[in-house]
Amino acid sequence: MGLQNAINGIPLEWYLIVAAALFSIGLYGVLARKNAVAMLMGVELMLNSVNLNLLAFWRYLAPESAAGLAFAAFVFVVAAAETAVGLALIIAVYRSLKSVDPETLTQLKL
Amino acid sequence: MTLQQVIFIILAIAVIGSALFVVTTSNLFRGALMLIVAFFGVAGFYVLLDNGLFAVAQVMIYIGAISILIIFSVMLTRGMQAMIPRNAQAGSVAIAAALLFLILLLAFGPFRLVVDLSGVPILSALFRTESARVLGGVPWQFANREVPETYIADFGRALVDLNQFLLPFLLVAFLVDAVLAGAIYIARQRKPAEVIAEREAIAKEEAEELAALQPQPTAPTLPQGAIASTADH
Amino acid sequence: MNVADLETVLPFLLLATGGVALLLVDLAVPQARKSLTGWLAFVVALAAGVSALALVSGKTMKGFAGMVQADAFAYFADVLLCVVAALVILLSLRYHTARGLMRGEFYPLLLLSLSGMSLAVHAADLLVVFLAIELLSIPLYVLSGFARPRLESEEAALKYFLTGAFASGFLVYGVALIYGASGTTALGDLRAALLDNPALTSDALLMAGLALVMVGLLFKIAAVPFHFWAPDVYEGAPTTVTAFMATATKAAAFLALMRVVAGFAALSPSLAQPFEVADALRPMLALIAAITMIVGNVTALAQQNVKRMLAYSSIAHAGYALAGVASGDATAVLFYLAAYAFATLAAFVVLIAVGSTEGNEDHRYEAYAGLGRRAPLLGVIMALAMFSLIGIPPTAGFVGKYFLFRAVVASDLTWLAVIGVLTSALSAAFYLRVLMVLFMREPETAPEAEPAALAADAPRMVAAYVSAAAVLLIGVFPSAVLALLTGGELVALVR
């Protein structure tokens, strides 16, 4: 099949691969980090990878339809919403504990 | 190699490199700054994908709002820069993440370019992707490559069109409402004195209600200890 | 604006607009009178429940360009969710006052979360599934941390948020891949595309997307091995919020899961039932159901804390319901979820009554010693709840498990039903332990709580009677519930 579905010489798969790498890195960030802010950064990377996928699908497969764009826009909103609530919670816990490491949360076992 | 390919490869290296730095660094502040680089790189991809609107939105939302929030909270929760960046399971998590990436790679089927796997029965089944692309039963239109000039207007109309995305649009509006109320509730600092005064007012009223219900000589009131124990944070 | 479109999501619209309006109304309510906000929220929840009850019919309607589907399953779930939420509001009035949590924001957030649940059960599009789950989750993160600045509540909220956001990432990435593979996110179109285009059924991109979506949803229903967050969150959250999460959230997430599974039934159609499950998915679902039942019940056995035991119990029951999903019988699953929800709510009535007394909230088994004799009414309600969770007739739990295991056996998964029956027998050990502590054990120290204080609150007693009556009535008259559920005819989850 080669590069016949490429736009400007870039096949769709390149975007999908970068997005998959970004998602896997974000996943590692959420699961391997000890700090809640760092875990949140991992989540943001995962959501960015989703948007990169959606935009690539829109451009390559259905540029005339607004569906991919609308989907991506909703992911933007959800990402911002999650960040706002998450950081509020992180700061609240930090105020009570002076630490935001989920493993040293004393009251509950992980 | 076209110019776009070169730009793509540079962007890919920048995004993946900075993302790797974000998830491995022990200095959270630098991690947050590298996160901005990763977000910029993704915005660059959107430009390559002929979507200026989303490139701008990416810069405004992810860098202008989300990264700034993250940097603020890194600075507000000081004192953890020196902490060990990874937990005990980091090794196995890395293997799992790499495995997930490999599986996704197989799903996208790019290796066909390099190796002809059609002879291997299981793998060839995995690679039957392109011909089967459908759009609501119709094959994906690879031929129609042009982005319509009115794509921004179309997108805007689709969001408020009853027959397209009005319901999800309504839904995220309520979502943002909930986030506003919830984040303010969580983040607002309450002084211990305020909590005590509030509880005493409620307890007094409760006592009055109980006294009105059952005329007893000693209406139950809130013990002092209970107030102190919840207000000491 | 087409009225028929609005009708398909009427409960959602009532709850969401009611929640936002209540946010404003609450500003005018003085701090000492916050129970007024609670009563207003109670009215909104009941109104939404009544609207759903009025709309139940055998007909299946699509709305908003096929994004939502209004059918008997959805309306039944709406009624269940609204009744559960209304009961939780009744339970919260005294509990929040006693714990210093009587804040007006609780009720609007509860209603917004409930609106997300209502939309999740109506969803006929993966995009709506994702966004509705976000709308139900984000207020719940805040509600789990509602007892701030109490540390365990804040920690529970943070843990819930981190796992929830992680799971959402999986879900939405999966939806994006499915969109890329099939060109649609609508479950009905997806089904049609799979039927029209057999090559799509072995598409690797689609399979990867489906796997990611399933992981995201299994996180939300707390199935093993994606359950680790649940016990901590359930234990740390305020008990009213725990009751809401263990009952309503679970039911809503399960219906969303079933809709997704039904959308993919055309991968390899196997059963001629209204709700189908693809042969490709069944072994995986059955395996996770079996592990969830075993792990949930065995771990619950080792708990020393009633609230934490109920958290593991909710994991175990997710396993039973998942067995029903694997069997492909949506009616049995929803019936089971209703039976489970009311029994669990009845158990939480007792926990909330204990938590509503002054002093520290203590849910260790020892703290419950002799409670059944000091407050016989609470003892009887707990006994009913435990019998129903074990599955002893004539309670709802028995009929629920009977329908469920019958469906599982009918779909050639007899081994799964055997595991279900065996783990149910095992579960009797820890459920009966609660009753033993309640009735047989003498408290080590003189009880501080007055029996009068335990039973004094009228709204809580109403909630207790309603949930206990539901446990008994569903157990004795299951056909009435089934009639509501199927609307007199068989319904398809995805059309």
Minimal CA separation from B159 to chain A, in Å: 7
With contact defined as beta carbons under 8 Å apart, do C340 and C397 qualify?
yes
SS3 track for chain C: CCHHHHHHCHHHHHHHHHHHHHHHHHHCCCHHHCHHHHHHHHHHHHHHHHHHHHHCCCCCEEECCCCEEECHHHHHHHHHHHHHHHHHHHHHHHHHHHCCCCCCCHHHHHHHHHHHHHHHHHECEHHHHHHHHHHHHHHHHHHHCCCCCCHHHHHHHHHHHHHHHHHHHHHHHHHHHHHHHHCCCEHHHHHHHHHHCHHHHHCHHHHHHHHHHHHHHHHHHCCCCCCCHHHHHHHHCCHHHHHHHHHHHHHHHHHHHHHHHHHCHHHCCCCCCCCCCCCCCHHHHHHHHHHHHHHHHHHHHCCCEHHHHHHHHHHHHHHHHHHHHHHCCHHHHHHHHHHHHHHHHHHHHHHHHHHCCCCCCCCEHHHHCCHHHHCHHHHHHHHHHHHHHHCCCCCHHHHHHHHHHHHHHHCCCHHHHHHHHHHHHHHHHHHHHHHHHHHCCCCCCCCCCCHHHHHCCHHHHHHHHHHHHHHHHHHHCHHHHHHHHHCCCCCCCCC
- Who contacts C455 (Cβ-Cβ below 8 Å, separation ≥6)? C353, C375, C377, C378, C461
Q: At what angle do helices C250-263 and C306-327 cross, to 10 degrees?
A: 20
Mean pLDDT on B154-166:
89
Contacts of A75 in chain C (CB under 8 A): 172
Interface with B, mutate which of C131, C160, C450 (most B CBs under 10 A): C131
- For residue B139, give the 3-state DSSP assignment: strand
Q: Residues of C at the A interface (Cβ-Cβ below 8 Å)?
A: 127, 130-131, 134, 138, 141-142, 145, 148-149, 151-152, 154-159, 161-162, 165-166, 168-169, 172-173, 175-177, 179-180, 183, 185, 228, 232, 235-236
Q: In this structure, what DSSP letter does residue A33 have?
A: B
Contacts of C19 in chain B (CB under 8 A): 174, 177-178
Domain range for A41 is: 3-104
Residue C294 CB: number of other CB atoms within 10 A?
Answer: 17
How far is the C-alpha of C427 from the C-alpha of C276, rounded, in Å?
30
Contacts of A80 in chain B (CB under 8 A): 61, 65-66
Average pLDDT of chain C, as a whole number: 88
Inside any domain, residue A95: yes
Residue in C151, C360, C453 closest to B229 by CB: C360
**Distance, CA of B176 to chain centre:** 14
Q: Which chains touch C (3 or more CB pairs under 8 A)?
A: A, B
8 Å CB contact of A71 and C185: yes
Residue C491 has pLDDT above 70, yes or no: no
Lowest mean pLDDT among B175-179, C27-31, C97-101, C282-286: C97-101
Residue C251's pLDDT is 94
With contact defined as beta carbons under 8 Å apart, do B25 and B85 qualify?
yes
Q: C174 in contact with B at a CB cutoff of 8 Å?
A: no
C451 against C259, higher pLDDT: C259
Residue in A18, A41, A72 closest to B22 by CB: A41
What are the tens digits of pLDDT across the range C346-392?
Answer: 999 999 988 887 667 788 888 888 888 888 888 999 999 999 999 99
What are the tens digits of pLDDT across the range C396-448?
Answer: 999 999 999 999 998 889 999 999 999 999 999 999 999 999 888 877 666 55
Do the interacting molecules here have an ipTM over 0.95?
no
Q: What is the residue extent of each domain of chain C?
A: 3-486
Residue B212's pLDDT is 65
8 Å CB contact of C176 and A57: yes
How far is the C-alpha of A24 from the C-alpha of A27, rounded, in Å?
5
Residue B14 has pLDDT above 70, yes or no: yes
Residue among C361, C367, C389 at smallest CA distance from C445 = C367
Contacts of C5 in chain B (CB under 8 A): 162
Residue in A43, A53, A108 closest to C165 by CB: A43
Mean pLDDT on C31-42:
91
Residue in A18, A77, A87 closest to B175 by CB: A77
8 Å CB contact of B187 and A63: no
How far is the C-alpha of B91 from the C-alpha of B83, rounded, in Å?
18
How far is the C-alpha of A26 from the C-alpha of A43, rounded, in Å?
6
Mean pLDDT on C267-283:
70
Greatest distance between any 2 Cα atoms in chain C:
72
Count of structural domains within chain A: 1
Residue B143's pLDDT is 47
- How many helices and strands, by DSSP H and E, does chain A display? 3, 0
| Residue of chain C whose Cα is closest to the Cα of B140 | C183
8 Å CB contact of A37 and B45: no
Residue A2 has pLDDT above 70, yes or no: no
| Residue of chain A whose Cα is closest to the Cα of B113 | A2
Phi-psi sector, C65: left (phi>0), alpha (psi -120 to 50), beta: left
Scanning B84-113 for CB atoms below 8 A from C yields: 103-104, 106-109
Q: How would residue C487 be classed by pLDDT, with cut points 50, 70 and 90?
A: low
Contacts of B110 in chain A (CB under 8 A): 11, 13-14, 17
Q: B1 in contact with C at a CB cutoff of 8 Å?
A: no
Scanning C358-397 for CB atoms below 8 A from B yields: 358-360
8 Å CB contact of A18 and B16: yes
Q: From residue C49, how far is each of B171, C41, C76, C363 by CA, in Å?
A: 20, 12, 9, 32
8 Å CB contact of B57 and A26: no
How far is the C-alpha of C224 from the C-alpha of C233, rounded, in Å?
16
Minimal CA separation from A69 to chain B, in Å: 7
Inside any domain, residue A110: no
Residue C67 has pLDDT above 80, yes or no: yes
Q: A28 in contact with B at a CB cutoff of 8 Å?
A: yes
- For residue B161, give the 3-state DSSP assignment: coil
Scanning A65-104 for CB atoms below 8 A from B yields: 66-67, 69-70, 72-74, 76-81, 83-85, 87-92, 94-96, 98-101, 103
Scanning B193-212 for CB atoms below 8 A from C yields: 195, 198-199, 201-202, 205-206, 210
8 Å CB contact of B185 and C105: yes
Q: B174 in contact with C at a CB cutoff of 8 Å?
A: yes
How far is the C-alpha of C305 from the C-alpha of C316, rounded, in Å?
16
| Residue of chain C whose Cα is closest to the Cα of A90 | C158
Residue C175's pLDDT is 96
Q: How would residue C269 be classed by pLDDT, with cut points 50, 70 and 90?
A: low
What are the tens digits of pLDDT across the range B67-108?
Answer: 999 998 888 887 654 455 677 788 899 999 999 998 888 777
The sign of the dihedral angle between the CA atoms of C397, C400, C404, C406 is positive
Mean pLDDT on C462-489:
83
8 Å CB contact of A77 and B172: yes
Per the structure block, which two tokens stand in for C388?
Answer: 């129903």
Q: A7 in contact with B at a CB cutoff of 8 Å?
A: yes
- Who contacts B209 (Cβ-Cβ below 8 Å, separation ≥6)? none
Scanning B113-172 for CB atoms below 8 A from C yields: 125-129, 131-138, 140, 162-164, 166-168, 170-172
Residue among C442, C469, C453 at smallest CA distance from C355 = C453
Inside any domain, residue A18: yes
How far is the C-alpha of C264 from the C-alpha of C255, rounded, in Å?
14
8 Å CB contact of C152 and A36: no
Minimal CA separation from C154 to chain A, in Å: 6
* CATH (domain of A29): 1.10.287.3510
What are the tens digits of pLDDT across the range C149-188?
Answer: 788 888 899 999 999 999 999 999 999 999 988 888 999 8
Virtual torsion, Cα C242, C243, C244, C247, nearest 10 deg: 120
What are the tens digits of pLDDT across the range B178-189?
Answer: 999 999 998 886
Strand partners, C68: C63, C123
Minimal CA separation from C4 to chain A, in Å: 23
Contacts of A54 in chain C (CB under 8 A): 176, 179
Residue C277's pLDDT is 80
